[in-house]
Structure 1
Amino acid sequence: MRSLLVALLAATPVVAAAWDYPDTHRGDVVDDYHGTQVADPYRWLEDTDSEVTADWVTRQNAITDQVLAEIDTREGFRERLTELWNYERFGVPTVNDDLLLYERNDGLQNQAVLYLQTGLDGKPRVLIDPNTLSADGTVALAGYALSPNGRFLAYALAESGSDWRSIRVRDVASGRDLLETLTDVKFSDIDWTRDSLGFFYSRYPSKDGTFDDLANQSLWYHRVGRLQSEDVQVYARPDKPEWGFDAAVTRGGRYVAISTWRGAEEKNQLFRLDLGDGDTPNFDGPVTPVVDGFVARYDVIGSSEHTVYVFSTENAPRGQVIAINLAKPAKTHWRTVIPQGEETIESVEFAGGRLVVVSMRDAAHRMRVYSTAGKLEREIALPGLGTVGSVAGQADDSTLFYSYESFLRADTIYRTDLNTGKRAAWQSPDIDFNADDYVTEQVFYTSKDGTRVPMFITYKKGMKPTGDHRTLLYGYGGFNVSLTPYFRIHRLAWLERGGVFALANLRGGGEYGEAWHAAGTRENKQNVFDDFIAAGEYLVESGWTAPEHLAIQGGSNGGLLVGAVSNQRPDLFAAAQPAVGVMDMLRFHKFTIGWAWVPDYGSSDDAEGFDYLHAYSPLHNIKPGTDYPATLVTTADHDDRVVPGHSFKYIAAMQHAHAGDDPVVIRIETKAGHGAGKPTSKRIAEAADVYAFLWRYTGG
């Protein structure tokens, strides 16, 4: 494959556009993929820091502002979303002896504030308020861990939505930070040693202040109060530059279980490091394999003395729980605690000396408690079709906290006694919305190849399938991500206006285990698009909507989904909203962490991979003279996960080819990233624009 400098040439649109889109230069870059010549006229837009790209961004945002300004519901959506968003919300607390650490947003704060309180009835105090760290709210708290003795808090900050983190240490009693700041951190957990004197984290080597090459992550130990230059490198594999590392210290403090991951692959290795039984951890011992070879998932759940409890998919594609004694880690000593069942295990928490298992049945959660011997003790009843968002407890305390949500009900935090099963709400949201006026039903439809696919449909009670309801269909379909019924405040504004919301559980996700995931990957990716198209056809055929009233939406891998099906079935949808999408399937692996997605997507570096990627790549399957759905692409200038060049090139190609009267435009957020940590003010503004656009162009 050759790489050429871009010659910027003025482009003449294929057809006369209804909107005065900015002129976008078309270069003469052509790449040779295994003997096939593929033009890439917008290669120059990959340079998102250039002056010419910045000028293009300004001009694109200007035409988008013009389009949005003509929509009369835009301000109404903004006002209603501001009202809806203004409710107090809490995160599930992390419990450390009698200390509760949790996040709280009073309603319209740009960032949630981290609070600490002693006991369930203690008075909370602010430990970290990210809103004070930047004038525009673009610095976010991106992870934290309290030391076992409760004296120190290690916490990570992210700026402008970046995946890069800086880690700092705060003295809990005084509320003041110590001197050290750890940098070059990305895709890292924080786990303390039992002596509370330091913690493990992962970082990348710095390359003259740039981070274009995400390779050679290594595991480090930081001693509190010391400079990062004094940190101890615990484990590195320069011979395996694609490997990444996470550490989990066992409850007794003797061992570190090191998980070795490789991109987004749903397989990892497991190693151990014996820290010794002295007062000071010993990092000189060998790192020895417990699970050698990337054959399945092995996720450490928790530990009891020398034993670690591990979620595994080896010979169990729907998941199982095993126990491994790190003092005798040979496989012959492993014990199966909870074998694979009919349901897919979503998560497991070790709390109160028990295993709390969240599983899925037809994409909705169930919650059960097992002994460490594998005996079912009880099922924790959930209010309905919904999602257990987070579970937290202590290894030796029977109090368990967890959150529950659904399409219509925001996170409620529950407190349950694992000994008795008694449950009470710890924090309940109070939203200006009557959920009882709406209903969610689950349906099953048939995809192109006969596969039975579940879908949730939410609407106002009493609505009948009359064929004329504005309907928003959402999907993802990738990376083993399961879409269970989860709450998003902005969807309420859509429902209140009489809209219908549907979510399809496409192949590529994890709803039915690894087989369901694999059926939507690599050469099977077309199954995902077929599933989504069949969902749209079902909504039309069952009378809920019609093509002129149907909108589709998805983000990241879901943005790829929306782009692909817009190309394949432009007649089926009135409007499309691909957010931060992976649109150039021939070059995605060349940017930031894109190489890590090859296990799901495949790669154009391989001849077979090129064939199936080129067949559906959203950028490469836009056809001149086609009447495409009204399209609002959203991305951000600081997205360092799915770089904005994907969306830039895609919308340039759409504007060049589109033959319809409805707009195809892009909304480019500034000082924002892939989505995490985005300030509330930006979330409201973006949601108002998106929903006003979709409402306008599903009006028929």
Structure 2
Amino acid sequence: MTHRLKSAAALALCLGALSTQAQTGTPAPLSYPETAKVNQVDTYHGTAVADPYRWLEDDNSAETKAWVKAQNAVTDRFLEAMPQRQPTRALYTQLYNFEKFGLPYKEGGRYFWSHNNGLQPQSVLYTARTLKDKPQVALDPNTLSKEGTVALAGTAVSRDGRLLAYGVAGAGSDWVTWRVRDLQTGQDLEDRIEWVKFSGAAWTPDGKGFFYARYDAPKAGQALTGANYFHKLYYHRLGTPQSQDLLVAENQAEKEWGFGAEVSDDGRVLLINVWKGSARKNGLMLLPLTTRGGYDAQAKPVTVTLDFDGEYSPVHIDAKRLVLKTDVGAPRGQLLYVPLNAGLKVAERSQWRTLVAEHTDTLQSASAVGGRFVLSYLADAATRVAVHDAKGQKLRDLQLPGVGSAGGFHGRWSDRETFFNYTSLVSPSSIYRLDVVSGASSLFKRPQTAFNPDEFETRREFVTSKDGTRFPIFIAHKKGLKLDGNNPALLYGYGGFNAPMTPGYGVTAATWMKMGGVYVLAAIRGGGEYGAAWHEAGTKLKKQNVFDDFISAAEWLIAKQYTQSAKLAINGGSNGGLLVGAVLNQRPELFGAAVPQVGVMDMLRFHKFTIGWAWVPDYGSSDNAEEFKALLAYSPLHTIRDGKRYPPVMVTTGDHDDRVVPAHSFKYTAALQAANTGSAPKLIRIETDAGHGAGKPTAKLIEERADMLAFFAHSFGMQVK
């Protein structure tokens, strides 16, 4: 292929231009590496579509690595020349440097919670007998690698509190290796579990082993794609090799099936969640455990439902009933009472009844603690919490500090206490202890930060989209903001996979506000803010609604004189990166700068890489003729508008991302640089030895996010002190 020589030549050319700039001190014209094109054309349902940068899909080839090096050389020098870079990084570091606490949970008579002293690469897991005792280190992942790139991807403590199963991931990969640590000695056992993705660990009550889900190890030369590997649920008995693990559940006829498992509070039942791709619709099975809390390999799962007609999330189970959170027949969620007969036999559907009826607010989560049901609702994308008794009768609402987001409320039916956190756009996450019986809550941890929330304000407003749909946005900024259209603003969105965007504190938003900017979070369709119908209104053939909502939010901010097009930045990651790429192509004149992070940019081929096939329930597939037309109409890679002036753009990705593979960002950037879109920079920032986020150390996070804000500040001519 001709690009083999061009990649090396482009790298030399690029470095030469940068060398000239460094020697003279005069900014040289921005010159991008030449990206070779290949004669690749695919035909979809009679339509020919060129894919000239197909070779960039091989991120391990020498040519692609040379291209990455050349692109980073251009971007690094551009960013280094920005006067905003170092002061923004210093400010971001200052605001990031505060204690961060995870929610405490209790097991084996001990509390466990995570803690980061501020700038540690990874958070440390601590344990203590009481909340007042000095905590001891249970596991410090910072000791697992010199670079701090190994992160905890999950933990599970045995019921006697003696053993810790923990998953580790690194280099941005979704692949997780599970180990077991003796918490009394601090030493790891010989057990080692490989090829795990999208799975936690669930101990049997006897502490002799745990359930987990994994894929088969690939055969030599075999690529791990959705076409040739299957998720399977296993039981691992301590002290035995992984090859002897017992298969609990699989379905070779359904490659899209995945499994999750948790053990009931009373230790009698394994609840098996069966998922299909990214769809919120799932199946549910029950597996009886032995009277001594062990696993009997002869036991067979009992089906609650495998209809995949909605969500079925188990909340509580005992000898007589199973309580489910579901959106079946209730798009905004309800609790169902499912009678159980002897042998875990599930009653006919006609005998299921409503325990807590659907509300006008969206039921986001439900837990069973202290003989009560704690229900967390979204009221116009902000949290509302209600406590109900065992019969479903409402007892009280939990008073929260303001309009923000609360989460947690985990525990067992026999526990009296639970913990939750509360945060808003201007309030760092504080942790509270809740006495579920009395309803009294008390502060457990509140971080001290360099960000003073009293200097800022936040509000919720409502925007009307193109088709008349009304949705909320959350706005935060310094108090006394003058609405004259001259404020720099940053609009963030996601809009997919039933994931709600709720107001919560983040250092990126805090830094931007300290820099004098307005931060805006848009709760657009495709998310889970208003239940199943809201999510579905932003999927497949209706995906354009998501982009229309985001564009409408931008237009509203300009009309209300919060900002102007030239000072409006947009940002989103993953599905949010797709969002940014799509709206940027549709309305390039509306925005002043854009940073799509790890975006899904090639909507015709996304399902051909790693876990991409699982996103078909949200996006549709180019294999379907009607869905192909919809995908082609907004796919960021295929809709770049040659001849239109684009604002400054900086794409970000990681070269080891195995969720949204870097080829998406690589190909999109190459096409953007090749098109006639004006002189504003079109850069890509590629983090090496990193991916979608897992395992990325604090220093790398700070550098990446500070560079984004500095890029926006530079684009808008802002001064950063």
Q: TM-score range by the shorter chain?
A: over 0.9
Residues 368 and 411 in structure 2, CA contact (< 8 A), matched pair in contact too: yes
**1:204 to 2:215 alignment:** yes
Cα deviations by residue, 1:139-179 (Å, 9 ceiling, x for unpaired): 00010111111111111000112100001111111111110
- Which residue is equivalent to 1:61? 72
Opposite residue 153 of structure 1, the aligned amino acid is L
Q: Distance in 2 between matches of 1:278 and 1:381?
A: 41
Post-superposition offset of 1:670: 1.3
User: Runs of 4 or more off by more than 4 Å in structure 1?
Assistant: 5-13
Tell me which residue corresponds to 1:653: 671
Q: Contact between 1:144 and 1:155, CA under 8 Å: does it hold in 2? A: yes
Q: Does 1:400 align with 2:398?
A: no
> Partners of 1:350 and 1:39 in 2: how far apart?
54
Instruction: Tell me how far 1:687 sits from its aligned partner.
Output: 1.3
Distance 1:664 1:267 in 2: 39
2 CA distance for matches of 1:622 and 1:325?
55
Map of 1:412 onto structure 2? 430
Is 1:187 matched up with 2:206?
Answer: no
| Equivalent residue runs for 1:84-99 within 5 Å | 84-96=95-107, 98-99=109-110
Corresponding residue to 1:556 among 574, 588, 594: 574
Residue 150 of structure 1 aligns with an amino acid whose one-letter code is: G
Q: Tell me if the contact between 2:205 and 2:293 (Cα under 8 Å) persists in the aligned partners.
A: no
Unaligned runs of 5+ in 2: 11-27
**Alpha-carbon distance in 2 for matches of 1:147, 1:305:** 23
Q: Structure 1 CA distance, aligned partners of 2:513 and 2:639?
A: 33
Shift of 1:245: 0.7
Distance between the aligned counterparts of 1:582 and 1:676, measured in 2?
18
| 1:572 CA displacement | 0.4
1:233 corresponds, among 247, 268, 272, to 247
Q: CA deviation at 1:392?
A: 2.3
Task: Return the offset for 1:211.
Answer: 5.4
After superposition, give the CA deviation of every residue in 1:488-508 in whole Å (9 maximum; x if it has no partner): 112211111210011111111
Q: Which amino acid in the other structure matches residue 514 of structure 1?
A: A
Contact persistence 1:6–1:29 (CA under 8 A): no
CA contact (8 A) 2:126 2:136 kept: yes
Of 254, 266, 283, 1:252 maps to: 266
Separation in 1, partners of 2:240, 2:141:
24
Contact 1:7 1:28 in 2 (8 A): no
Q: 1:129 aligns with which of 135, 140, 155?
A: 140
- Look up the SS of the partner of 2:623 in the other structure: coil
Q: Are 1:586 and 2:598 counterparts?
A: no
Shift of 1:18: 5.0
- The CA distance in 1 between the partners of 2:263 and 2:119, in whole Å, is 37
Superposition deviation, residue 397 in structure 1 = 1.6
Return the alpha-carbon distance in structure 1 between the equivalents of residues 315 and 658 of structure 2.
Answer: 30
- CA apart distance, 1:285: 2.4
- In structure 2, the partner of 1:293 is 307
User: d(CA) in 1 for partners of 2:3 and 2:691?
Assistant: 29
SS at match of 2:646: coil
Once the two structures are TM-superposed, the CA of residue 227 in structure 1 deviates from its matched residue by: 1.5
- The more displaced of 89-98 and 74-83 is 89-98
Matched, 1:376 2:394: yes
Q: Does 2:52 match 1:41? A: yes
Which stretch shows the higher mean deviation, 148-157 or 639-648? Answer: 148-157
CA deviation vs aligned residue, 1:91-140 (integer Å, no higher than 9, x gap): 00111253111100001000000001111222211011111111111000
* Paired AA for residue 337 in structure 1: L
The 5 Å alignment of 1:146-185 reads 146-185=157-196
Structure 1 SS opposite 2:160? coil
- Counterparts of 1:6 and 1:413, CA distance in 2: 58
The answer for the alignment partner of 2:225 in structure 1 is 213
The Cα shift of 1:353 comes to 1.5
Distance 1:303 1:698, change over 3 A: farther
Per-residue CA deviations over 1:568-612 (Å, capped at 9, x if unaligned) read 000000100100000000000000000000000000011101100
Match of 1:300, SS state, is strand
Equivalent residue, structure 2, for 1:506:
524
| Closer/same/farther in 2, CA of residues 65 and 280 from structure 1, 3 Å limit | closer
Paired with 2:259 and 2:444, the residues of 1 have a C-alpha distance of 35
Quote how far apart the aligned CAs of 1:241 are.
Answer: 1.7
Q: Report what 1:547 is aligned to.
A: 565
Letter in 1 for 2:39: D
Partner in structure 2 of residue 531 of structure 1 = 549
Partner AA of 2:224 in structure 1: D
Say which SS state the counterpart of residue 516 (structure 1) adopts: helix
Q: Which amino acid aligns with 2:210?
A: F
> 1:324 Cα shift?
2.9
SS of residue paired to 1:200: strand
Q: Structure 2: how far apart are the matches of 1:318 and 1:534?
A: 25
1:310 corresponds to: 324
- Greater alpha carbon shift after TM alignment, 618-627 vs 328-337: 328-337
The normalised TM-score by structure 1 is 0.96
Encode CA deviations 1:409-455: one digit per residue, 9 max, x unaligned: 11101001112121111011000111011111111111111111211
Deviation at 1:289, TM superposition (A): 1.4
- Contact 1:242/1:262 (8 A) holds in 2: yes
* Kept in 2: contact 1:446–1:453 (CA 8 A): yes
Distance 1:659 1:328, change over 3 A: closer
Q: How many residues align?
A: 693
| 2:149 aligned to which of 138, 143, 148 | 138
- Aligned-residue CA RMSD (Å): 1.8
Q: 1:664 to 1:279 in 2, by over 3 A?
A: closer
Give the distance between the partners of 1:111 and 1:508, measured in 2 at CA. Answer: 32
Alignment partner of 1:502: what SS?
A: strand
Return the alpha-carbon distance in structure 1 between the equivalents of residues 264 and 519 of structure 2.
44
Tell me, in whole angstroms, the C-alpha distance in 2 between the residues paired with 1:280 and 1:384: 45
- Structure 1 range deviating more: 384-393 or 686-695: 384-393
Which residue is equivalent to 1:355? 373
Q: Deviations over 1:193-232 (max 9, x none)?
A: 1212111100101113665224311100011222111211
Once residues 483 and 633 of structure 2 are traced to their aligned partners in structure 1, the CA distance between those partners, rounded to angstroms, is 35
Please tell me whether residue 451 in structure 1 is matched to residue 469 in structure 2: yes
What one-letter code is carried by the residue in structure 2 that aligns with 1:621? T
1:365-422, CA deviations, whole angstroms, 9 ceiling, x for partnerless residues? 0111111210111111111111113332332121110011111111101001112121
8 Å CA contact 1:9, 1:25 repeated in 2: no
Matched residue type, 2:345: K
Secondary structure class of the residue paired with 2:570: strand
Does the CA contact (< 8 Å) of 2:204 and 2:293 recur in 1? Answer: no
